[in-house]
Structure 1
């Protein structure tokens, strides 16, 4: 048989990693240690979301010392500070150089299919060029935040109102002059609302059910206290909510200007207009659910509850620390504004900060629940050789963060290596 009629033999890898963010590069770090032949497919550029999906004043909300990617811990002179966007990207660029992964950028994975004889087909596209390779094992390291959530009612907003998702927001100057409606009060929503508020913009904030926590308490960063209390080492199966904690909204707090609380009540005293959950839109008038007071109260209860747990720790360990305190509300809603006429309020822009949804439609394997979320135990699925990495609370609080993804990647590398020993690489003649 001559070369022109030879059957096509696709490239084969022991492991394919899908996603070139901190999770994918962490996985590559450990696969190199065990000598596993692998490739990392990234549809954009490696670590692109940190450069392209963060606003200009973005900074970490956890102290720099928690940045502990494999082989690349934070080595700066401000471990208890909070790196800004450019500093974060410098840190990540150093991590990329250190890992030196077999990375293929601009390659989108279109479909992953289990093979009858074992292993997987991985179909990719690079521009107009499509191709297929095979792999013994696959690690999905693309995270769980894929598709920006924007409600369908956005289609009925009055013409002329600029709409951006949180991933597109850059700074107050990027929005037209006038008042801004921010929808969602999680980490992104609260920080973007603060960014606009500090710039002197009139802000309306639709408040959700996000909890909050103190930045500093009894002389230390709350993160430092919680680390001493081993909270960040608690596995998901020991959390009171078990896997339900994966659905929780992150606590809002900020590292801006050296770190501080975010207190929506204080913002309200200063002129920010707070509303309840967005409920609907009718002829240019936004409608909100009642319950703003209850939402603020719940956030404060979590704030005080975390501090109370720190009080117990301090007492139990006999630690000398400044005296305890309890947050008392500085503002209470005087009734609730359940409607907002966008034109009359001078709203010129809406920033949607209600998160993302996962999109794993390209993964043709029965490993999802009814909501399209992966079913796994510490990243290991029931489908042999298929894993996830970098998901929120995959194993601990830090699983999707710089602080914990290394531990998860090391664990998966052990599982991958064990399967290599049991099942040597598949013969492509099979």
Structure 2
């Protein structure tokens, strides 16, 4: 490895490799540094029955798109891994795997030093441009009071969950109802485990509506292409957890009320706990109502789109609750309920402490516009809402990566031609 490389891309997932694809097309010398392997996050941090929640046709990367037999279906974890592995040989990126970047330090005003910890020990390179593609928020969140709970209760984060058999016998408490929490709760429920679910404030969406996948309708309506500053609801909408739904078994709604009818125990927001006692806020009824209201609101938006264009489609409908709690449970005695495991599915937080640059807000999030920061030479890619709702998803990665790469090419060599679109 040279001691100086014009561009270092830090993170070898689909976002970083997409930037690499465009840099390669422009003839820009660079390396992509990956702490594990290119498909590590998909192969090793998804549960066995994981499926995409976005239709397969959303899966588009530079020079490469899903072309299988089921564009409206949902790839499983292993199918996603195979699909990504098929992309890499099409352009052979300069990928340095099993090497972690432990420090990114500015040298003067026009250069960075990148400290690498790899198979040959600690080394370093310098670069003119550094692209951070390490994912949105890499540190799993577990509440502080988790350490005060009964040590006999097995606790894991959602990224450590793979299947029901890895857990001790007994009931399971899943905390959080984002996409991972609801799908893991369903996975356990379908396996016959008694599930207790602490419900957060995530909204939900219909899987299919009026003859098509809702995400296909939303794409046609331009929701995934609307710039963040123009998106309805502004910053508040962007801070919300993604809508829960599943692609399992061909795709279906996730209806927590239906789960309750079938025996799942639902609670409001988990606030604290000690030993075998957990306490919950009285938020369950409101959370269920608001999730259903979002579900129906999205259906109404689709109705208006259909009507405005005169599209022929099946008749509209609305979700009607199949269950409602008599009261919001205030406590759960883990021992009395036979709960032997807790799965924390309450998200992640940013960790950019290894980057020595003034590019972050008070919450540790990058301050960027379409990935470009005010720090010369420092950019990001693969962040949620980096440019649109589609950013961070397969559907938006190509466009975001091209923009960042084009910016880099322009800085490095004003005489280079603009990058051509991949597809």
TM bucket by the smaller chain?
A: over 0.9
Structure 1 position 282, deviation (Å): 3.0
The answer to whether 1:136 aligns with 2:157 is no
Q: CA contact under 8 A between 2:112 and 2:128: conserved in structure 1?
A: yes
Structure 1 position 363, deviation (Å): 0.5
Distance across 1 between alignment mates of 2:2 and 2:70:
49
Give the unaligned 5+ runs of structure 2: 417-423
Structure 1 position 387, deviation (Å): 0.4
Structure 1 position 57, deviation (Å): 0.2
Match of 2:190 among 185, 194, 198: 198
Match of 1:167 among 159, 168, 191: 159
The residue number in structure 1 matching 2:210 is 218
Distance across 2 between alignment mates of 1:197 and 1:242:
36
Describe the shift of the 1:10–1:93 C-alpha distance in structure 2 as closer, same or farther (beyond 3 A): closer
Secondary structure at the counterpart of residue 344 of structure 1: helix
Match of 1:412 among 404, 411, 414: 404
Distance across 1 between alignment mates of 2:286 and 2:377:
46
The answer to whether 1:77 aligns with 2:64 is no
The answer to whether 1:118 aligns with 2:118 is no
Distance across 2 between alignment mates of 1:127 and 1:102:
17
Match of 2:222 among 227, 230, 234: 230
The residue number in structure 2 matching 1:361 is 353
The answer to whether 1:252 aligns with 2:244 is yes
Structure 1 position 145, deviation (Å): 2.3
The residue number in structure 2 matching 1:4 is none
Distance across 2 between alignment mates of 1:110 and 1:244:
33
Q: CA contact under 8 A between 1:10 and 1:132: conserved in structure 2?
A: no
Describe the shift of the 1:315–1:285 C-alpha distance in structure 2 as closer, same or farther (beyond 3 A): same
Distance across 1 between alignment mates of 2:96 and 2:236:
35
Query: Which stretch shifts more, 150-159 or 208-217?
Result: 150-159
Q: CA contact under 8 A between 2:173 and 2:197: conserved in structure 1?
A: yes
Distance across 2 between alignment mates of 1:381 and 1:342:
47
The residue number in structure 2 matching 1:320 is 312
The answer to whether 1:51 aligns with 2:54 is no
Q: Which runs of 4+ in 1 moved over 6 A?
A: none
Distance across 1 between alignment mates of 2:328 and 2:159:
29
Distance across 2 between alignment mates of 1:203 and 1:319:
42
The residue number in structure 1 matching 2:79 is 87
The residue number in structure 2 matching 1:310 is 302
Structure 1 position 319, deviation (Å): 1.0
Q: CA contact under 8 A between 1:245 and 1:393: conserved in structure 2?
A: no
The answer to whether 1:299 aligns with 2:291 is yes
Structure 1 position 244, deviation (Å): 4.2
Structure 1 position 166, deviation (Å): 0.5
Match of 1:67 among 38, 42, 59: 59
CA-to-aligned-CA distance 1:148-197 (integer Å, 9 cap, x gap): 11111111121221111110001111111110000000000000000000
Structure with the greater alpha carbon radius of gyration: 1
Aligned length: 416
Structure 1 position 296, deviation (Å): 0.4
Q: CA contact under 8 A between 1:25 and 1:99: conserved in structure 2?
A: no
Structure 1 position 401, deviation (Å): 1.2
Secondary structure at the counterpart of residue 249 of structure 1: coil
Distance across 1 between alignment mates of 2:142 and 2:256:
23
The residue number in structure 2 matching 1:271 is 263
Distance across 2 between alignment mates of 1:418 and 1:329:
55
- Normalised to the residue count of structure 2, the TM-score between the two structures is 0.96
Q: CA contact under 8 A between 2:50 and 2:77: conserved in structure 1?
A: yes
Structure 1 position 245, deviation (Å): 3.8
Distance across 1 between alignment mates of 2:155 and 2:84:
30
Match of 2:21 among 17, 23, 29: 29
RMSD: 1.4
The answer to whether 1:290 aligns with 2:282 is yes
CA-to-aligned-CA distance 1:342-393 (integer Å, 9 cap, x gap): 0000001000000111110001000000000000000000011110000001
Match of 1:383 among 371, 375, 391: 375
Distance across 2 between alignment mates of 1:246 and 1:11:
40
